[in-house]
């Protein structure tokens, strides 16, 4: 028997104001699209903004459905839109923000497991890390240099 230790690290910014101008702009767009989320069941709104290497910004918000789990998370809405409309473009940065209609979310909210796997798929496909910034509705912003910090034991096509 042996033990494997996996270390991960994040950069923590005290607020959006500490981010670079391009990331501030990306996060502000994620906040704006978050407010347009269709979340009548969970009352939990998520927005995502992607910066592509061609300069385009792709937005996504969560879209719920009464026939749960037919809805889709903001991150996957944005990633899949990017893949469908800009299949050759690389995703450089992703900004994610989440807020509840019922209580204040000050802690950074990371992507769910399904979104982590989807982000990983695109990072693997493009053979280039995606910077991921995530926050609640206010407060600290966490930065990960790659999805591998959030999904260290990842599953890819090499296992198939």
Catalytic (active-site) positions:
75
Torsion from C-alpha of 59, 62, 63, 65, nearest 10 degrees:
170
As given in the structure block, the two tokens for residue 74 are 């903001």
DSSP string, 97-157: EEEESSS---S--PPPHHHHHHHHHHHHHHTS--EEEEE-SSS-EEEESSGGGT-SS---G
């Amino acid at each position: 028997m042996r033990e494997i230790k996996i270390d991960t690290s994040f950069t923590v910014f005290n607020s959006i104001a500490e981010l670079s101008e391009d990331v501030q702009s990306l996060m502000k767009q994620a906040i704006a699209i978050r407010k347009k989320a269709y979340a009548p069941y969970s009352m939990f709104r998520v927005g995502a903004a992607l910066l592509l290497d061609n300069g385009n910004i792709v937005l996504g918000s969560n879209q719920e459905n009464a026939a749960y789990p037919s809805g889709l998370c903001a991150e996957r809405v944005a990633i899949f839109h990017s893949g469908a409309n800009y299949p050759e473009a690389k995703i450089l940065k992703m900004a994610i923000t989440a807020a509840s209609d019922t209580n204040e979310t000050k802690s950074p909210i990371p992507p769910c497991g399904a979104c982590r796997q989807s982000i990983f798929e695109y990072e693997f496909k493009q053979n280039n890390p995606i910077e991921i910034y995530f926050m609640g509705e206010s407060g600290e912003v966490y930065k990960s240099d790659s999805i591998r910090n959030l999904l260290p034991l990842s599953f890819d096509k090499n296992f198939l």
